[in-house]
């Protein structure tokens, strides 16, 4: 007779196999038979635990999002941005979650919106703190700037394979993260243009006087 512990172990094994398979092949490219094979169980047991593939994906979404944002999740006990950073430094353990997260964002999942909103909230909070500390330059549109900064963080996840091909290094490896750190801070601190010519031209083109100070805006 199957025990409750056996059921819990099988459920977790199925979920982890599904996370790896969905991350590797995408939702449409993954069958319950493949997941069952990878988990070492029968397809009937997957149906017993999850019902169907849609319900299994929902369980995978919730688990992966929970790893990164749920405050009571015990996998990585730190705020969202710190959890993601910690996961990037332990790819052997958290690699499947990172790969699934990247696939989830581009494939379109209800949980992807939840995760993106959380990352955006964390980014906004950091920038608000830095603004109060006088560390930020004036911004014409603080909320859009918040989105752009969040995208800088998500880029290596979503474009991992392309970046690795361009640079010859996995951007989420320890060496890749180290290589990315200084250029990112240079970009955020100094920008890339040495004059304001293009900025002034852009302001004029959209009808904004280059002599007026940028408006901070109320959204944050």
Calculate the average pLDDT of the chain: 79
What pLDDT is stored for residue 90 in this prediction? 63
CA distance linking residue 145 with residue 138, whole number of Å: 11
Burial class (CB in 10 A: 0-12, 13-18, 19+), 171: buried
* Ranges under pLDDT 50 in the chain: 1-6, 71-79, 210-213, 218-220
- pTM summary value: 0.63
According to CATH, what is the number of the domain 4-205? 1.10.357.10
pLDDT in tens, 45-88: 999 999 999 899 889 988 887 776 654 444 433 445 555 566 55
Q: Domain extents for the chain?
A: 4-205
**Using an 8 Å Cβ cutoff, are 104 and 61 in contact?**
yes
């Amino acid at each position: 007779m199957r025990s409750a512990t056996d059921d819990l172990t099988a459920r977790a094994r199925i979920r982890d196999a599904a996370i790896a398979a969905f991350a590797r092949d995408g939702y449409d490219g993954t069958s319950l038979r493949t997941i069952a094979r990878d988990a070492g169980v029968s397809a009937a047991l997957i149906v017993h635990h999850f019902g169907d593939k849609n319900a299994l994906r929902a369980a995978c979404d919730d688990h992966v999002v929970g790893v990164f944002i749920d405050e009571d999740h015990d996998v990585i006990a730190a705020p969202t941005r710190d959890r993601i950073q910690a996961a990037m430094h332990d790819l052997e353990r958290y690699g499947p979650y990172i790969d699934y997260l990247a696939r989830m964002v581009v494939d379109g999942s209800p949980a992807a919106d939840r995760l993106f909103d959380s990352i955006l909230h964390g980014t906004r909070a950091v920038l608000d703190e830095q603004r109060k500390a006088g560390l930020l330059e004036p911004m014409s549109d603080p909320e859009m700037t918040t989105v752009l900064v969040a995208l800088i963080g998500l880029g290596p996840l979503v474009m991992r394979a392309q970046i690795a091909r361009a640079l010859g290094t996995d951007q989420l490896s320890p060496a890749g993260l180290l290589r990315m750190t200084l250029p990112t801070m240079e970009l955020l601190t100094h920008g890339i243009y040495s004059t304001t010519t293009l900025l002034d031209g852009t302001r004029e083109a959209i009808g904004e006087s280059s002599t007026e100070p940028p408006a901070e805006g109320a959204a944050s």
